[in-house]
Amino acid sequence: MTVAPRSEPLRFRSLEEVEAAVRRDGGRLTRPRRQVLEALFAAEGLASAEQIAGHEIELTSVYRNLERLEELGVVRHVHLGHGPGLYGLVGDGEREYLVCEACGQVTVAEPGRLDRAREAIRETLGFDARFTHFPIHGLCSACGGD
């Protein structure tokens, strides 16, 4: 049970920037760590630990590195459903997710897109909803959502 940092996360534009941040934090740039980072930059979106691992690195190391990078504010993860968690680089302004329980389709909502909904929830229940870590579930338009 962890809270995401409330301040705007700094955006890392390149592998080099992240590597500098890792070093600043007292971390070392090992081969597995570099490969995790490369995989994340290559993914352009979300990837599972297993996908990130490929056939070169141990899954264990991947998890440990992802955890470390998440603490550093470089990485974040989402739980889209029953499958494995999905990891991605932190961008500027967090995307939020919607998953159709009928067809499994994942919709990505750009930052701000869910503000009206968030506002309604805040007004009704005084709760600040975030769909970045756990998505909205329901039925997409194709499956009966409209």
Instruction: Enumerate binding residues for DNA (CB under 7 A).
Output: 22-23, 26-33, 48-50, 57-61, 63-65, 67-68, 83-85
- Judged on CB neighbours under 10 Å (0-12, 13-18, 19+), 65 is buried
Q: Number of residues in contact with a second copy, rule: CB under 8 A?
A: 45
Minimum separation from the CB atom of position 86 to a second copy (A): 15
Record the tokens describing residue 97, joined without a space.
């997710």
Minimum separation from the CB atom of position 109 to DNA (A): 22
Q: Does 30 bind a second copy (CB under 8 A)?
A: no
Report d(CA 119, CA 128) in Å as an integer.
Answer: 8
Question: Under rule CB under 8 A, which residues in 44-103 are in contact with a second copy?
Answer: 81, 98, 100-103
**How far lies 78's CA from each of 46, 49, 63, in Å?**
8, 12, 14
The residue (of 18 and 46) whose beta carbon lies closer to a second copy is 46
